Amino acid sequence: MQKIRNIAVIAHVDHGKTTLVDGLLKQSGTFGTHEQVNERAMDSNALEKERGITILSKNTAIRYGDHKINIIDTPGHADFGGEVERVLKMVDGALILVDAYEGVMPQTKFVVKKMLGLGIKPIVVINKIDKPSADPERVVDEVFDLFVAMDATEDQLDFPIIYAAARDGIAKMDMADPDGDFTCMFNTILEKVPEPTGDAANPTQLQVFTLDYDNYVGKIGIARIFNGKIAKGDNILLAKADGEMVKGKISKLIGFLGLNRMEIQEAEAGDIVAVAGIETVDVGDTICDPQNPMPLDPMHIEEPTLTVVFSVNDSPLAGQEGKHVTANKIRERLDAEMNTNVAMRYETVGEGKFIVSGRGELQITILAENMRREGFEFGIGRPEVIVKEIEGVKCEPFEHLVVDLPADFAGTIIERLGRRKAEMKAMVPMGEGFTRVEFEIPARGLIGFRGQFLTDTKGEGVMNHSFLEFRPYTGNVESRQYGALISTEDGVALAYSLFNLQDRGVLFTAPQTKVYKGMIIGEHSRSNDLDVNPIKGKAQSNVRSSGADEAIKLVPPRDMNLERALEWIEDDELLEVTPLNIRIRKRWLDPTDRKRYGKK
């Protein structure tokens, strides 16, 4: 039996999971002295590096002494919660990271609940103890209270605590100890995380927990071997979730070490490997011995809560900036996404329209951002929540929302959320003039709220939310308060006309930007939409006027990135997404059409 430990690193977003994995990789001696390693090495995707978040769970393996430790780095955003849940079924222990100032956050609660339910024993790491405002003792109490509230067993409540500053490679078992390296963390993992159960002599059982795709070998299933052995060239039986059995052959077996994947000949019970050659493999499927098939329980994958319509771009500027603009190309790209992303679904509705369902706005905007970087051009509608009928009652998804904000702004935010049907559950002072307020709110109430929240808290507020459950529908929820400034002409926006329009609201468009009839160039300062002409130049005459030498001073336009724009739009508006621009437009460009459809 190999000396193996399988652990997951789980935490709320931005509490330092990937940085901790960096430290474990570097201090284990897995990298050679000549190897150059980037910061947050596990975030391999360009978007992950830019945003500093983990989007896809990734696994690595390190050697420590004569042990092999398989580590899975998981995403922290609630939108990717399904991925964390699957990963936890593959491991025997978990490092729970908690920020030494922020403490227990919504996603911490979500992952802890899943972990305790699976009977995994945790190792708690209080990270970022070097923060000036860190309060590790309070955070340890919060974690203990959370475990008690989640019905942890006596064994789970007896968790080891490690204090760390992962960025600096510091870890210690007691705040009073001098700073040390990660040796105490490695020793705690070997001591507290049980060895994998299972026996290499039993019939083969592997369960796939995440997917990858390679243009040469096709679909790759990353799986944990629960029993038996697996070797390259083996004939296997794939047990699907619906009971179907598919024959297959392992064409490639891949092992992990550090950041490298290498081809191996065989592996046995307890290890985590990637297998290729089975085109129909899916998350939750079991790879079994054809002579003695013993499928494992299929995994429950969380249902999507949000839908967005992707459509072929039909604006007057369509096809000028993108490489892939047809419905067939968009369909192929969505098919490729569904190959590896089990938390998303799509269906075709009508000509050139696709309803894409996901776990949240972030998940959908990341897909859209990746597509535009690949040269796609398309339109996106406003996100809508998925409404279900449960036992004859119309139900919608609710979220658990936590906001940390300066105490002076708490009243404004509570009032705004009240209008969006939120129910306040707790209010706790956080020290240094900050307050934490917890709410339960319909997911619809959060669409479009983030921008308003940042404005109201002068950019100092932090909001986090995670899916709670489906509850009876709550009726209408207040949405955007202000109307839009809509262009009435095709052409190029001029500084002179924009200068005259900036008193009417906030502009999204800079001078010399191409505009078209029906395109939204700004937010009106009132609740109604206003048709404006952004291409009108200054009339030239041979008579000198009194205002001739007035300087045109323009306020910089509001930067509308993909997320902000998607939150801002209403039902009768669309985003035009191209590799070079994100434009906001009305669904019906002609004002007469807008009036006709608006009356229905």
Annotated binding site: 14-19, 127-130
Nearest CA to 518 out of 535, 537, 508, 531 is that of: 531
Q: How far is CA 561 from CA 330, 352, 558, 576, in A?
A: 21, 24, 9, 12
Instruction: Find the length of the chain.
Output: 600
Cα–Cα distance measured from residue 77 to residue 200, given in angstroms and rounded to the nearest whole number: 36
Distance separating alpha carbons of residues 559 and 59, to the nearest angstrom: 36
- Residue 402 to residue 462: CA distance in whole angstroms: 8
- Which residues are annotated as part of the binding site for GTP? 14-19, 127-130
Distance CA 168, CA 175 (A): 16
The CA angle 236-238-241, to the nearest 5 degrees, is 165
Between CA 600 and CA 363 the distance in angstroms is: 33
How large is the angle between the packed helices 361-373 and 327-340, nearest 10 degrees? 120
Any idea what the Cα angle at residue 278 is, between residues 276 and 279, rounded to 5°? Answer: 110
Which residues, including other chains, have CB under 8 Å from residue 531's CB and lie 6 or more apart? 486, 487, 488, 591
Q: Which residues pair with 239 in a beta bridge?
A: 245, 286
Element (H, E) at 418: helix 410-419
Contact 91, 7 (CB under 8 A): yes
